[in-house]
Every structure is written in structure tokens, then in C-alpha cells.
């Protein structure tokens, strides 16, 4: 503790204006205070600076610190510069990617818009194609029907156009069947009820003069239609000739709408009788017997501008 005591001597001087500065400077009586501060500062510096512990002088320690600072500062600077450059590159890359993505999205939207428009146009074209195909199919069918009708007309020697068509205020109107004939589906039927009655052969020839033949009935719906238009007349043995028939076995006789089962194959002609049960209205009869008859032929299909009424 004695080394830490500071000693000082203070001398108070009188104020003498006459005394010059040179005298004050040359005065040997001025005592100097001896203060042991350096040691204390040295000790405190030794405690604070690690260089003292290592035995290095203060100047060497300061130079070492300067070297450390000098050696580390450029590394931090280089790292900072590198990080800054990397950040700039990343920002530039992100900007470029964003621009490319935006351009890609714009191109995708344009392509999607074009695709939607083309798809709509394609759908419209498909619709028009379907309509055209329907029209072509309709024209083809109409052309076939017209050719069929033309062939039918050319084959008929006694066919009169007046039997099908008539002139009205709305123009010419044509019907599928001749006058007094009845249409059922694609066929026309003529039910002869007036005298003279005829045999089966004579009835067939009468139908041929109109381009028809004796009705061949092969469906239940057709038999129901025929049964609605035939009527009872004269006696229970008379009916309407239908045909033609050419039986060769008893098995063929079981086919049809018979009132009762027949096995006699010598009788080849059939009458359709008025019956409460439409699928049981046929009976066999001698072909020379006089009866009414039913003719059947295909109905005609006229062009649309002629087929005004049905």
C-alpha cells in the first residue's frame, strides 16, 4: 500500500507584480511534487491489458492489436462485398424468372384463348356437318322414294295422276294413296264392297289393273286394321278375299289368324271375315266362290312442295 501513496508539496507564493516571468522560471526554490502515479497506472494497465500477462511491452501489444485489426478488416470487407454481389445476382435472377413466368403466363392465356375459339368454331362446324349429313340423308331418301314412285308410275298402264293429285287454291296437292283407298303405314288398301263380286282369281286380276294385289296380311296390327274395315254381309260364309296362298303342307295352314284349324291342303283360297277377335278371322273357301276382296299396294311419297295435305 505504501507504493500507492502520492506525495506532493504545494507552495503558496505572494502576488508580486514586479517579479518577471524570467525570475519565476529561474527560481530554484520551486519544489516539484513527486507523484508516484506511473506505477499505479502501470499496475492498472497490467491488470486490464492481457499483454502484460504475456510479458509484452505496451508498444508491442498495441502493434499486435493493430495487426489483428488490420488483418481481419479486409476479410470482413471481402465477405460483405461477396454477399452484396450475391444478393444482387439473386435479385436479378428472381427478376428474370418473374419476367419469364409473366411472359409464359401471357403466352399460355393467348394459346388458351385461341384454343377456346378454335374449339367453338370446330363445334359449330361439327353442328353444320351433322345438319348437312341429315339434309344429304333426307335428299338421298327422297331421291330413292321418287325413283321408286317413278318406276311404279311407269309400270302402271291405267294409272291416272288425277287419282292422286288435285288442283286447289293453294296449288297442287297430292296424296299417298289413290281416291277411295285407305292408307295404313306405308301401304294403301282398297276394300271392294260393290257388285259385281268376283272369284279369287278375278279379284286378283282386278287388283293388278290398279298396280296392286290381293292383300297379304302378316302382322297382328295389319290384321286389326283389316278387321276394322270389313263388314258382315249376305251370310256367314261370305267374306273378303285375301292372298295369295300356295299351301304345300299342313304346317303352313297353322300360320295365320284362323278361326279354326284346317288341315285340308286342297283348298288354297282364304277369306277374311268380320270377327270380334281380330286374330281369329280367317277361314278357307273354294276359290270359285263369289266374294268381295281387299287390294293392297305401296303408298307413294311425293316431293314436299306437292305433299301439302295427307
Q: The domain spanning residue 253 has which CATH number?
A: 3.10.100.10
The last residue of one of the domains, among 96, 128, 155, is 155
Name residue, grid cell 502520492. 6
Q: Tell me, what DSSP letter sits at residue 222?
A: H
Say if 208 falls within a structural domain. Answer: yes
The last residue of one of the domains, among 129, 155, 181, is 155
- Phi, then psi, of 124 in degrees rounded to 5: -65, -40
Q: Where are the alpha helices (DSSP H) in 230-276?
A: 250-253
The answer on 287 and 222 residing in a single domain is yes
The answer on 238 and 191 residing in a single domain is yes
The C-alpha atoms of residue 158 and residue 121 are separated, in whole angstroms, by 56
Say if 166 falls within a structural domain. Answer: no
Q: Which of 226, 268, 263, 223 is CA-nearest to residue 245?
A: 268
The answer on 149 and 209 residing in a single domain is no
Digit-coded pLDDT (tens) for 60-84: 555 555 555 555 577 888 888 888 8
**pLDDT grade, residue 41 (50/70/90)?**
very low
pLDDT at res. 225: 95
Name residue, grid cell 419469364. 100
Name residue, grid cell 497506472. 41
The answer on 288 and 232 residing in a single domain is yes
Least confident of 20-34, 121-135, 249-263, 286-300: 20-34
The answer on 249 and 178 residing in a single domain is yes
Q: Which of 211, 212, 200, 202 is CA-nearest to residue 243?
A: 200
Mean pLDDT of the chain: 76
Highest average pLDDT, of 20-29, 166-175, 224-233, 275-284, comes from 224-233
Tell me how far apart the terminal alpha carbons of the chain are, to the nearest angstrom.
145
Q: Are 222 and 272 in contact (CB under 8 A)?
A: no
Cell of 308: 301439302
Q: Which of 65, 5, 70 is CA-nearest to residue 35?
A: 5
Which structural domain range is residue 52 located in? 2-56
Q: Identify the residue with better confidence: 214 or 259.
A: 214
Residues 6+ apart with CB under 8 A from 175: 164, 165, 183, 309, 310
The answer on 294 and 176 residing in a single domain is yes
The last residue of one of the domains, among 155, 184, 219, is 155
Digit-coded pLDDT (tens) for 204-258: 999 998 889 999 998 889 999 999 999 999 998 999 999 876 555 545 556 678 8
The answer on 253 and 177 residing in a single domain is yes
As for how many domains the chain has, the answer is 3
The answer on 176 and 262 residing in a single domain is yes
The answer on 27 and 94 residing in a single domain is no
The answer on 120 and 44 residing in a single domain is no
Say if 68 falls within a structural domain. Answer: no
Residues 6+ apart with CB under 8 A from 144: none
The answer on 150 and 98 residing in a single domain is yes
Say if 120 falls within a structural domain. Answer: yes
pLDDT at res. 184: 94
pLDDT at res. 75: 81
Say if 63 falls within a structural domain. Answer: no
pLDDT at res. 211: 84
pLDDT greater than 80 at residue 119: yes
Mean pLDDT calculated for residue range 131-140: 89
Q: Where are the alpha helices (DSSP H) in 198-288?
A: 200-208, 220-229, 250-253
Phi-psi map region of 243: left, alpha, beta (phi>0 left; psi -120 to 50 alpha)? left
Say if 61 falls within a structural domain. Answer: no
Residues 6+ apart with CB under 8 A from 10: 33
Digit-coded pLDDT (tens) for 160-186: 778 888 887 777 788 889 989 999 998
The answer on 243 and 193 residing in a single domain is yes
Q: Which of 279, 249, 280, 245 is CA-nearest to residue 264?
A: 249
Least confident of 134-148, 219-233, 279-293: 134-148
Say if 194 falls within a structural domain. Answer: yes
Q: How many residues does the chain have?
A: 310
Q: Are 225 and 257 in contact (CB under 8 A)?
A: no
Say if 91 falls within a structural domain. Answer: yes
Amino acid at each position: 500500500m505504501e507504493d500507492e501513496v502520492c506525495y506532493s508539496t504545494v507552495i503558496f507564493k505572494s502576488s508580486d507584480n514586479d517579479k518577471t516571468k524570467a525570475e519565476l522560471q529561474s527560481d530554484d526554490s520551486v519544489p516539484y511534487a513527486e507523484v508516484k502515479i506511473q506505477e499505479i497506472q502501470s499496475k492498472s494497465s497490467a491488470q486490464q491489458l492481457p499483454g502484460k500477462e504475456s510479458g509484452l511491452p505496451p508498444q508491442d501489444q498495441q502493434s499486435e492489436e493493430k495487426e489483428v485489426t488490420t488483418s481481419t478488416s479486409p476479410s470482413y470487407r471481402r465477405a460483405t462485398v461477396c454477399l452484396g454481389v450475391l444478393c444482387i445476382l439473386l435479385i436479378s435472377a428472381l427478376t428474370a424468372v418473374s419476367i419469364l413466368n409473366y411472359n409464359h403466363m401471357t403466352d399460355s392465356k393467348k394459346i388458351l384463348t385461341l384454343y377456346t375459339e378454335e374449339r367453338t368454331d370446330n363445334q359449330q362446324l361439327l353442328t353444320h356437318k351433322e345438319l348437312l349429313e341429315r339434309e344429304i340423308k333426307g335428299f338421298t331418301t327422297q331421291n330413292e322414294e321418287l325413283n321408286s314412285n317413278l318406276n311404279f308410275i311407269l309400270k302402271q298402264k291405267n294409272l291416272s295422276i288425277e287419282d292422286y293429285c288435285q288442283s286447289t287454291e293453294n296449288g297442287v296437292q297430292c296424296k299417298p294413296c289413290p281416291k277411295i283407298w285407305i292408307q295404313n303405314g306405308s301401304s294403301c288398301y282398297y276394300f271392294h264392297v260393290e257388285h259385281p263380286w268376283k272369284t279369287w282369281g278375278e279379284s286378283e286380276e282386278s287388283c293388278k289393273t290398279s298396280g296392286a294385289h290381293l292383300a297379304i296380311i302378316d302382322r297382328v296390327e295389319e290384321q286389326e286394321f283389316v278387321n276394322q274395315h270389313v263388314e258382315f254381309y249376305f251370310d256367314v260364309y261370305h267374306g273378303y278375299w285375301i292372298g295369295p296362298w300356295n299351301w304345300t303342307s299342313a304346317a303352313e295352314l297353322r300360320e295365320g289368324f284362323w278361326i279354326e284349324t284346317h288341315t285340308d291342303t286342297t283348298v288354297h283360297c282364304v277369306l277374311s271375315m268380320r270377327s270380334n277377335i281380330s286374330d281369329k278371322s280367317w277361314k278357307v273357301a273354294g276359290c270359285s266362290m263369289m266374294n268381295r276382296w281387299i287390294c293392297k299396294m305401296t303408298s307413294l311419297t311425293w316431293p314436299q312442295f306437292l305433299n301439302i295435305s295427307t
